[in-house]
Amino acid sequence: MALVAGLQQARNAETAQVPSAPVAARSADTSTRPSLADRCSNAPLLTLEGEPVRLDLTAGAWLARLRGNVAFGPISTNKVDVNDTYGLDSMEGAFQGDLSILWRNWTVRLTGSEFSTDATQAATSAGAFGTTAFAVGNSLRSSFDFYSWGLDVQSWLWRPLSKQEFPWEAPVAGEDLGGDLQFVAIVGGRGFGVNQQMQNLTAGTSSTYSETFGTVIVGGGVDVQVDLRGRVDFLDRIEFSATGTWGPAWPGDGGSETEIRAALTAWFCGNAGVFFGYRYTNLELTQGGYAFSGNIAGLLLGGSLRY
C-alpha cells in the first residue's frame, strides 16, 4: 500500500505542476500521448471492439543452476545431493521465451524453456541410481535435463492509479498515467519433462529416468510501470513485474511445480526493450521409484518486442 500511495502522490504532484490548459488543447494532447497500456508507435496487430490487440515476443537466456536431492530405486531409496554426489552444480545458459497476445485487461501467453547440465567425477561414496550401483572412486558421468512449455491466461484485477480501477469498468479514452500499478491473477496449464541419467564409466553400466508431467497452475502477481518521457531522453518507460504460480504435478504421488519470476524491463520506445530478472522453478516429484526435491534457478537476460 505504501507503493500505491507513493505513485499516487507522484502523479498528483506532476498534475499540480502543469498549468491549466484550454479544454481543446488538453484533448488534443491526450490523443497524441497514448497511455502506458498501449505505447506502440506502429499500428496494432488488429482491433477488437475498438481496442488494440498487441503481440509481445520476449526471448532471452536463463543462467541457471540445479540444486536438490534425488533418489531412484530399487537398489537404493536414500536421497543424495545432486551437487555433491553427481557434480551437477555448474551454471548453464538455457533458453527462455514467451509469446503473448494482449487485449484490454487480458494477456494470453505461450511460454517455453529448456535447461541441461552434465558432469563427470569420481564417486565420493557408495550408492546406486536406478539399477546402476557405484563404489567409492568409480568414475560417474551424470546429466539432468528439464524442459517446459505452457499456456497462461492473465488478467489485471485492480489498477489503483487508473480511472478504470477494475476491469469491468469502462476504459477511459486517452488516459495519460505517469505511473501504472496492476495486480494480476493467473490460471493456465503447464507441461514439463525431466530426464536424468547416470553412467558408471568404471563398470560400464547406466540407468536413466525420463518422464513428462502436467499441471494446472494458479497464481498472481504485480506489474509496475513508470513513465519516463520528458525525464530520460533514451527511455520511454521502465516496468517491473513479479509473478508466482503453483500447481500439482501428475503422474505421481503428491508432486508439485512452483515458479516465481521477476523482471525489470527498460523500454527504449513503445515497441522494444531489454530486461533483467530472475526465475526460480521448484520441483517436488515422486513417481515410479524416482523422488526429486529441488529447484532450478538463476538470472534472466533478454529483450522484448511488441507489435
2's enclosing H/E stretch is helix 2-17
User: What average pLDDT is seen over the chain?
Assistant: 89
Instruction: For residues 69 and 129, give the distance between their C-alpha atoms in angstroms, rounded to a whole number.
Output: 12
DSSP symbols for 11-60? HHHHHHHSPP--HHHHHHHHHHS--TT---SSPPSEEETTEEEEEEEEEE
Burial pattern 262-301, b for ≥16 Cβ within 10 A else e, equals bbbbbbeebbebebebbbebbbbbbbeebbbbbbbbbebb
For residues 275 and 302, the answer to whether their CB atoms sit within 8 Å is: yes
Q: How confident is the model at residue 270 (pLDDT cuts 50, 70, 90)?
A: confident
Q: What is the pLDDT of residue 176?
A: 76
The SS3 assignment for 268 reads: coil
Q: What is the pLDDT of residue 258?
A: 98
For residues 201 and 173, the answer to whether their CB atoms sit within 8 Å is: no
Looking at per-residue pLDDT, the higher value among 109 and 17 belongs to 109
Beta-bridge mates of residue 67:
295
35-77 tens-digit pLDDT: 676 788 788 888 998 888 999 999 999 999 999 999 999 999 9
Instruction: For residues 89 and 64, give the distance between their C-alpha atoms in angstroms, rounded to a whole number.
Output: 10
Q: What is the pLDDT of residue 192?
A: 98
- Mean pLDDT of the 277-305 span: 97
Beta-bridge mates of residue 245:
219, 259
Q: How confident is the model at residue 130 (pLDDT cuts 50, 70, 90)?
A: very high
Residue 85 contacts by C-beta under 8 Å, 6 or more apart in sequence?
Answer: 123, 124, 125, 127
pLDDT at residue 16 greater than cutoff 60: no
CA distances, 247 to each of 40, 68, 193, 280, 282 (Å): 34, 19, 15, 14, 11
176-213 tens-digit pLDDT: 778 999 999 999 999 999 999 999 999 999 999 999 99
Residue 204 contacts by C-beta under 8 Å, 6 or more apart in sequence?
Answer: none
- Mean pLDDT of the 232-249 span: 95
Domain parsing of the chain, residue ranges: 2-306
142-168 tens-digit pLDDT: 999 999 999 999 999 999 999 889 999
Instruction: For residues 155 and 178, give the distance between their C-alpha atoms in angstroms, rounded to a whole number.
Output: 21
- Residue 231 gets the label, from left (phi > 0), alpha (psi -120 to 50) or beta, of alpha
Beta-bridge mates of residue 110:
99, 151
CATH class of 2-306: mainly beta
pLDDT at residue 25 greater than cutoff 90: no
